[in-house]
Structure 1
């Protein structure tokens, strides 16, 4: 079994499954009231979410980027720098950084700076974008979708693991003995870097072949579908000579909890449906969303007992190290975000941690 060359995130099994929040910075009206807060208020809301997550005992807060209408997360690393100053213990990360349309040198410089600001709390999840409008906006060809991602992800890993970088590729000028600074203040002078995976089994397999951890996002469907993808990832890692059990897995998706399951589904569906119509161009089928009430569904919406049962079943299926919840999708009000965080901290987190400790 060969040594893994990458900077892997560290987890303590005695603390149980890590639990955190992520947001994509959506900026849409609340479908129940029609009210839409300003972009400034929405950014401040995300900073407050991170503070509340830390106070509730959660492990990580993550922010993704998007460069289209109905989002305020275009400069997600800038917002994460503000969050680094507003918090003190919670881990921070991206969910995801679209490395395909970014310069890996600048991404590393910015993320390493946040790591220094936060005393070593920063991680990167690198993705390829499910919304491709940013390719035109930032001057890239959509036909290079796969090539751009693979080349830039490879360069990001090399920068992270090599202080003096020599590199050449197709999409940017070569680097010759480049000293890329600053460096994180740890023994490896690098950051944990995850490969963000959506519905692509091939991408999960490539992550395993490279020996990098995966960040598996999910919208809906049976948890067993994602179990199969995670198995493919671990099989590829084993075939490449790595210790697959030592490479972490994160999963994340929609999350909404209320005292009554039917109330949770009635309240949350307009947020998901209307939010997706605006940001993706299509809604979430109502029948498919209602199927989330089945304990075998990956959609973590319901009363606390149902959501706990789902999270524990998913942990049994995936044997993953971290779950991150998207609780603010589709214009959920700050009052309801606070209510969800309170239920997570008081009712869900203690039980999930208790039953997943090793």
Structure 2
């Protein structure tokens, strides 16, 4: 089965509602994220993903705690991060925490590795932001090895050596959680994802599509170069954000104050300019379907589509109503349309069961990944 996966991701921001001036408490926001995840499963979505932040106004500083709690209250939902900070977390702790979560969730876990978007997080955790790419490369090389070797002897630049170390628990069924590498600007990360045969997630919600097309195409080409399959078999995930109402005018009228005041994109381009240049769709469910289907024209057939739904101070009640529309009127149509004409060789979104059963379960290598892409690759992705 080569079905796409659809889901939502949250950044966990605590933002005042511009229509009322009231911000939720941290407690309310955390509980709302749990309610949103459970609603996602109720309406038939495949994935819930949470970011990792260590600064106000964000609350998801401990993704494994949140996802473990949600795992106990869901049955089918794949639980993911968006992202896990591979640069400032100890890869040994990542290996152990997410293997534990994988067991508790019966395999419904994957990770998205990233460097985050908050510069000060580096010194908070004793790291140097100027070493961001080398940290991402070395830390993931170690994590990859910890999940695939029962006994690890390792020495690198950024942490103390390991001698005869075994990460516990071992991955469920001997298959580590699937890993996406998330990036919005770095060809080195696309190269890293391709080298290991992992997924590449382009969170294309802020910049024009041509920028992300370069990164995705680089990843696909290098994925094939390293012998993991053809370019169209590479594992691609995309972001997006939507706000819906039964008719477009009502959607625009309701969402405009949230857009205009949002910390992430308020006080810049207009709502109309932003929707023209990025995946943001504010309109009817049909318009969301039509805009999302254009992603395939830009990026090719892909495996996972995540929507940002709970940002900018939108109240929980509104977000849950949005999820009803997404689950009832948008995703069923997208599933059907994306399946139509999808080549048989293009894989579906990753699941633990499929990886245990198939050859992709053991894909990957344990040798050291190149520190950066070559000059030709950098030139190809020069806009990144």
TM-score normalised to structure 1 length: 0.89
Q: Give the 3-state SS of the residue equivalent to 1:286 in structure 2.
A: coil
Could you say what secondary structure the match of 1:101 adopts? coil
* Counterpart for residue 319 of structure 2: 337
SS of residue matched to 1:285? coil
Q: Could you say what the CA RMSD is over the residues aligned between the two structures, in angstroms?
A: 1.9
Out of 11, 14, 18, the residue aligned to residue 31 of structure 1 is 18
Residue pair 1:205, 1:233 contacting (<8 A) in 2 also: yes
Q: Does 2:328 align with 1:346? A: yes
Which residue pairs with 2:284 in the alignment?
303
- Equivalent residues in 2 for 1:152-301 (5 A)? 152-186=139-173, 188-243=174-229, 244-276=231-263, 283=266, 285-287=268-270, 289-294=271-276, 297-301=278-282
Deviations 1:179-224 (A, max 9, x none): 10112322x3311111111122342233223322111112234434
Moved over 4 A (4+): none
Deviation at 1:238, TM superposition (A): 1.9
Which residues of 2 match residues 133-144 of structure 1 at below 5 A? Answer: 133-144=120-131
| Secondary structure, counterpart of 2:7 in structure 1 | strand
Q: Distance in 2 between matches of 1:311 and 1:175?
A: 46
Conserved? CA contact 2:181–2:200, under 8 Å = yes
Aligned residue pairs: how many? 338
- Which runs of no fewer than 5 residues in structure 2 stay unpaired? 343-384
Secondary structure in 1 matching 2:87: helix
- The corresponding residue for 1:49 is 36
SS at match of 1:48: helix
- Structure 1 201/144 Cα, relative in aligned 2: closer, same or farther at 3 Å? closer
Where 2:56 maps in the other structure, the secondary structure is: coil
Q: Is the 8 A contact 2:206 2:278 kept in 1?
A: yes
Paired with 2:182 and 2:121, the residues of 1 have a C-alpha distance of: 17
Deviation of 1:310 after TM superposition, in Å, equals 1.2
* Unpaired stretches in structure 1, ≥5 consecutive residues: 1-11
Task: Work out the CA distance in 2 between the residues paired with 1:119 and 1:93.
Answer: 13
**C-alpha deviations, 1:2-37, integer Å up to 9, x for none?**
xxxxxxxxxx32x3x211011111111111211111
Alpha-carbon distance, 1:59 to partner: 0.5
CA distance 1:50–1:102, shift in 2 (3 Å): same
* Change in CA separation of 1:147 and 1:351 when aligned onto 2, cut-off 3 Å: same
Describe the shift of the 1:285–1:171 C-alpha distance in structure 2 as closer, same or farther (beyond 3 A): same
The 1:182–1:313 alpha-carbon spacing in structure 2 relative to 1, beyond 3 Å, is: same
Match of 1:312 in 2: 293
Q: Deviations over 1:31-69 (max 9, x none)?
A: 121111111111111111111000100001011111111
Shifted more, 309-318 versus 62-71: the winner is: 309-318
